[in-house]
């Protein structure tokens, strides 16, 4: 029985690594994942300040090589030294840089803990953190970050990239498949506000999203002045940076106290949906 359990564990670990490699190859350079934690950078190294660094530090601490008692989002000398120790320990290139090989080894060893997944597997319904857009979320979510979005009502998920936004986040689906999921949830491209859970690193944030693409043309370069932008926006700046994803332009992602771009005012329906995602309505 003991031999069978060990064999099962080995097979499970091998399968997890295989799934990770498929995710890496399938998503390309923009996003990769391990144990439910989505990484938006190709490498993490000395001097970087990013929320994913804290996830890496937690994994290193589990392994016993990260000695600092406090986790941060800064990749400093202490983190670099811990990474080198981890790499030496497991026969990896000890350059102090966290890339795909190091993340894959951490995943194989079961060092990642996705708090959101742990909650969802329990008896409680997942609720997003009710975080303020201005003082909290806008500092956590950066342009070009890839986020996993879960529709609260259906539980269906898709991926988006943050490509613009000041008063709220403007996002674009990564692929045609993600766009297809969005259209399936909303019943097409629609302005309906829906409560969503936003998975950013190891945080789950309450949000509200619409599914009406606007202000862009997929077939022309992003950032240029173009005509016939989606949503009836006419001529102007092309807010379409993720190409060949089955959508022209971007869609809106709101959080607590975020504002509309058109008039700098809160959207009551968005705020109600955010509260529902947070479980307070």
Report the pLDDT value the prediction gives residue 74, as an integer from 0 to 100: 87
Report the pLDDT value the prediction gives residue 95, as an integer from 0 to 100: 96
CATH topology assigned to domain 2-113: Muramoyl-pentapeptide Carboxypeptidase; domain 1 (1.10.101)
- Contact present, 61 and 83 (Cβ < 8 Å): no
Report the pLDDT value the prediction gives residue 35, as an integer from 0 to 100: 52
Query: What token pair was written down for 264?
Result: 């700098």
What confidence category does residue 107 fall into, taking pLDDT thresholds of 50, 70 and 90?
confident
Query: Which residue, 101, 97, 86, 114, is CA-closest to 48?
Result: 97
Query: Which residue, 251, 233, 234, is CA-closest to 242?
Result: 251
Report the pLDDT value the prediction gives residue 117, as an integer from 0 to 100: 46
b/e burial code for range 89-118 (CB count within 10 A of at least 16 → b): eeebeeebbbeeebbbbbbeeebbebebbe
What confidence category does residue 123 fall into, taking pLDDT thresholds of 50, 70 and 90?
very low
pTM above 0.85, yes or no: no
Instruction: State yes or no: pLDDT of 97 exceeds 60.
Output: yes
d(CA 91, CA 117) in angstroms, rounded, equals: 30
Query: What token pair was written down for 130?
Result: 């009710």
Report the pLDDT value the prediction gives residue 16, as an integer from 0 to 100: 57
Better-predicted residue by pLDDT, 65 or 126: 65
For residue 50, give Cα distances in angstroms to 60, 79, 141, 142, 160: 16, 13, 10, 9, 18
Listed range (119-133, 185-199, 231-245) with the worst mean pLDDT:
119-133
Query: Which residue, 153, 183, 199, is CA-closest to 251?
Result: 183
Listed range (50-64, 184-198, 229-243) with the worst mean pLDDT:
50-64
Listed range (12-26, 53-67, 172-186, 187-201) with the worst mean pLDDT:
12-26
What confidence category does residue 27 fall into, taking pLDDT thresholds of 50, 70 and 90?
very low
Query: What token pair was written down for 240?
Result: 């379409």
Listed range (111-125, 190-204, 215-229) with the worst mean pLDDT:
111-125
Instruction: State yes or no: pLDDT of 112 exceeds 50.
Output: yes
Report the pLDDT value the prediction gives residue 69, as an integer from 0 to 100: 80
Instruction: Show Cβ contacts of residue 209 under 8 Å, excluding neighbours closer than 6 positions.
Output: 149, 193, 194, 196, 251, 252, 253, 254
Mean per-residue pLDDT over the chain, rounded: 85
Instruction: State yes or no: pLDDT of 231 exceeds 90.
Output: yes
- Contact present, 53 and 73 (Cβ < 8 Å): yes
What confidence category does residue 118 fall into, taking pLDDT thresholds of 50, 70 and 90?
very low
Name the DSSP letter for residue 128.
Answer: -
Q: Calculate what percentage of the chain has a pLDDT beyond 90.
A: 65
């Amino acid at each position: 029985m003991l031999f069978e359990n060990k064999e099962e564990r080995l097979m499970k670990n091998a399968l997890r690594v295989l799934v990770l490699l498929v995710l890496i190859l399938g998503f390309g350079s923009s996003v990769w994942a391990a144990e439910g934690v989505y990484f938006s950078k190709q490498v993490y190294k000395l001097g970087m300040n990013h929320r994913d660094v804290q996830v890496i530090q937690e994994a290193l601490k589990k392994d016993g090589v990260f000695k600092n008692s406090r986790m941060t989002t800064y990749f400093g000398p202490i983190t670099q030294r811990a990474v080198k120790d981890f790499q030496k320990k497991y026969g990896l290139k000890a350059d102090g840089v966290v890339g795909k090989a190091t993340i894959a080894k951490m995943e194989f060893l079961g060092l990642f803990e996705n708090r959101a997944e742990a909650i969802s597997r329990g008896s409680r319904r997942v609720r997003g953190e009710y975080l303020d857009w201005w003082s909290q979320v806008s500092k956590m979510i950066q342009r070009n970050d890839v986020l996993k979005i879960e529709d609260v009502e259906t539980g269906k998920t898709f991926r988006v990239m943050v490509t613009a936004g000041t008063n709220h986040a403007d996002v674009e689906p990564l692929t045609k498949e993600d766009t297809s999921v969005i259209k399936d949830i909303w019943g097409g491209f629609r302005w309906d506000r829906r409560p969503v859970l936003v998975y950013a690193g190891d945080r789950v944030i309450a949000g509200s999203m619409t599914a009406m693409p606007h202000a862009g043309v997929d077939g022309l370069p992003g950032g240029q002045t173009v005509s016939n932008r989606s949503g009836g926006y006419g001529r102007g700046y092309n807010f379409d940076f993720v190409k060949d994803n089955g959508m022209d332009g971007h869609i809106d992602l709101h959080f607590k106290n975020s504002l509309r771009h058109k008039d700098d005012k809160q959207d009551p329906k968005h705020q109600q949906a955010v509260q529902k995602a947070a479980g307070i309505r």
